[in-house]
Amino acid sequence: QAQVVEPGGGSVQAGGSLRSSCTTSGMTFSTYAMGWFRQAPGKDREGVACMSRSGGRTTYADSVQGRFPISRDNANNTVYLHMNSLKPEDTAVYYCAADYQIVEYCSTSARRYSRWGQGTQVTVSS
């Protein structure tokens, strides 16, 4: 059975950094675009970043452009979200998700993604 798992999360002060990771099993990782999403209390889920199956294309939300690079390691079935210059407004539950693709493409639209992790809390204090 295919699974998407996000260990970690954490708490940090404003201006700090965190790295979230996400691993998959039971699926051919290199055939999936991977995306990161977040949901803060009382807000809709937001697409943060995505990367195409081979890493050739990325898309970022304006709110994290230049601060949250996404990367992936297809040999180890892992995608990372490197969160830098964190702000209190980045506080949210962060989700990793997988979107099967036959082309080099990714989207930050949540409805494209069929497999989701359980979410991990990221808290940024001022």
pLDDT of residue 1: 76
Q: Output the six-digit token pair for 39.
A: 């949901």
| Max CA distance (Å), the chain | 43
With a CB cutoff of 8 Å and minimum separation 6, the contacts of 53 are 30, 31, 32, 33, 101, 104
Predicted confidence band at 9 (pLDDT cuts at 50, 70, 90)?
Answer: confident
Predicted confidence band at 6 (pLDDT cuts at 50, 70, 90)?
Answer: confident
Percent of residues, the chain, with pLDDT higher than 70 = 100
pLDDT of residue 5: 83
B/e letters for 23-39, b = 16+ CB within 10 Å, e = fewer, are bbeebebeebbbbbbbe
Predicted confidence band at 3 (pLDDT cuts at 50, 70, 90)?
Answer: confident
CA angle 94, 99, 103 (to 5 degrees): 135
Predicted confidence band at 19 (pLDDT cuts at 50, 70, 90)?
Answer: very high
Assign 3-state DSSP to the chain and report helix, strand, coil percentages, each to 5. Answer: 10, 45, 45
Phi-psi region of 85 (alpha: psi -120 to 50; beta: other; left: phi over 0): left
pLDDT digits (tens, 9 = 90+) for 73-111: 999 999 999 999 999 999 999 999 999 999 999 999 999
Average pLDDT over residues 31-51: 97
**Which DSSP letter does residue 9 get?**
-
